[in-house]
Amino acid sequence: MLDTVCWHDGAVRLIDQTRLPGEFVLLDCTTIEQLAEAIEVLRVRGAPAIGVSAAYGLALAARLSSADTHDALLADLQVAHDRLARTRPTAVNLFWALDRMMATARAARDADDPRALLLAEAEAIAVEDIAMCAAMGQHGAELMPAGARILTHCNAGALATVRHGTALAVIRAAHAQGKVAMVYADETRPLLQGARLTAWELHEDGIPVTLLTDNMAAHAMRQGMIDCVVVGADRIAANGDVANKIGTYGVAVLARHHGLPFYVAAPVSTFDFSLASGAGIPIEQRGPDEVRALGGVRTAPEVPVFNPAFDVTPAELVTAIITNAGVFRPPYSESLHGLRAT
């Protein structure tokens, strides 16, 4: 599969994930508004992929700017920064990448070609994402038992990153070692990322996958069908609280009740050490029609809808956090201290 996001001929090229699994469509974003809309409606999604997309977005903004002074260029970039920052509030990688790109822009005051430096920095962020996911996969694979039957929720695969994935990087590495007997993919209501994306990715890669609805996970665990859970993350607080796709918290509670390990896989860019706990993580609220309809077909009356895109899993339910820097275990306030200092 092609990279989820890349720079192509002066545009930010994305795999349009709203068209999967029925169609494989590439979208070239040539304006900041087009890219912002793609992030907002989930044409590109997943915290690392959003971060890389935003980095390329500021490189695109620099190319589109007609500014002839450094200050004017910074002003144009700030406008693009602010628009992209409004797209998805929960995924911290978005803000991490935007801040890194703006720092590069400010430092480029004396550069002959600041636009080239910004594109090079965006490319570096993409390359780092690929390397981080590969390392994450190797670290996580060591935790998987032989013949593992793994439950995952939402999509933390290649489509959520540039390549490999986070949770699916662990699964891919474990599969390469002959450890994976079956992956159970929650469908992930209301937008079915597990059904449309995770099941599609694993099937395309020849990794055994079984799809189940979200409310079947408890029964599968009780029947002894699951050995462990591996999920991704959109933001992790300093104490190890984890924000991930809505429904993750429920899966963690089920795993604890059934005595199953619950692993989170995320790159170091997903940690937000400015937040003491998950209580400070902003939770995106999405539109009601995502719940009142399915595939464009109305399934509910015009009643009020509660539609948070994410929930927060308390650190005490997380067996370990798998990162590119290694595996961290509770108490996270202590084990993550060294990572915080990097």
Closest to 144 measured CA to CA, from 127, 117, 119, 169: 169
Residues 6+ apart with CB under 8 A from 337: none
Environment class of 234 (CB within 10 Å of its CB; exposed 0-12, middle 13-18, buried 19+) = buried
Active site residues: 234
- At 63, which helix (H) or strand (E)? helix 47-64
Return d(Cα 196, Cα 117) in angstroms, integer.
37
Name the residue type at position 319: T
Within 10 Å of residue 220's Cβ, how many Cβ atoms?
18
> Under the phi-then-psi rule, with left for phi > 0, alpha for psi from -120 to 50, and beta for the rest, what region is 247?
left
For residue 146, the 8-state DSSP code is T
Q: Are 88 and 40 in contact (CB under 8 A)?
A: yes
How far apart, in Å, are the Cα atoms of 176 and each of 173, 259, 274, 311? 5, 26, 37, 31
